[in-house]
Amino acid sequence: MTPIRVLVVDDSATMRQLVARVLAADAGIAVAATAASAQEARTLIKQLNPDVMTLDVEMPDMDGLSFLERVMRLRPMPVVMVSTLTAQGTETAVSALALGAVDCVVKPTAANPRSLDELPAKVRIAARVKRRLPLAEAEAAPPPRGSYAPDDKLIAIGSSTGGVEALITVLSGFPANCAPTVITQHMPPVFTRNLAQRLDRMCAPQVLEATHGAPLRPGTVYVAPGGDSHLEVAGRGSLACVLKPGEPVNGHCPSVDRLFLSVARHAGARAAGALLTGMGRDGAQGLLAMRQAGARTFAQDEASSVVYGMPRAAVEIGAAEQQFSLARIGPALVGATAAGS
């Protein structure tokens, strides 16, 4: 099997060596070259045509975000961001994901010295991603026209790799008074707070990082916080967010399955769910439970998915009643939760 050829870009010589060493330890990955700046990286991309690039967010001649935007516009390729776990760094990483980066890995810290251990697996995933131009924020679906009123219903969405772009597209089509919406997107701690803030700036509904006990209200979207708790919904009559500490499910915490199963249990036919782009099978069984409980269920189609893993798993077991392109998922969810639907 031909190894995955990676270009490592970071202005720190120490970090370049560390990232290269971690990647080279994987027999299926080869470090094609390293670069200390965007200019050097641009030259190496043209010369070597690497399969994947790892990219820092702070560089001397051009910041990583600007370089990523240029790469994805002129020569799209799979990119994994390697960023520091700070408020500033995570906001930049979320912006990078919105521009088309496949995933992000935090740089090692004293509290988390082995954070790069997950990098080889994420590079392998990135190598399987379709090379395509990301959906620009300006191209996101416009809010639906005409009157809309929620009908005591709930929307649940699950996503992973490529999910930031997908969520921007879906939520940009939601009206300001949309049905209460709960989302589990596989992301590290702190990143989810910045994701919620970014979505809140871009979308008509209010978008918040979910907190334990928060009541589900129309016009509000709740994003599961990354960390060691699963987001669920619970309650009799009026539903609320519940954060339950627990072990990873399907390799993830928070888990889409945990969210969807709770929606099936407590909302039943009063819900609509969608499983978006992502690697693996998380959410498929939960979406099936939702459908069996009478909920409307949708999955993103292969053509518009960055990684057609989670949606495929849902389709294979009959969990999704319909598959839609990304642009049609939002309108489908809005239509399924409108009064009289």
List the catalytic residues.
160, 186, 282
Secondary structure class of 153 (helix, strand, coil): coil
Nearest C-alpha neighbor of 119 from the set 66, 146, 86, 81 = 81
Q: How far apart, in Å, are the Cα atoms of 288 and each of 122, 193, 264, 266, 283?
A: 28, 29, 9, 15, 9
> How many Å apart are CA 310 and CA 324, to the nearest integer?
14
CB 88 within 8 A of CB 113: no
Alpha-carbon distances of 262 from 205, 257, 293, rounded to whole Å: 23, 8, 11
CA pair distance 126, 160, nearest whole angstrom: 12
Which distant-in-sequence residues (6+ apart) come within 8 Å of 215 by Cβ? 238, 239, 240, 241
DSSP-assigned states of every residue in 59-73: -SSS-HHHHHHHHHH
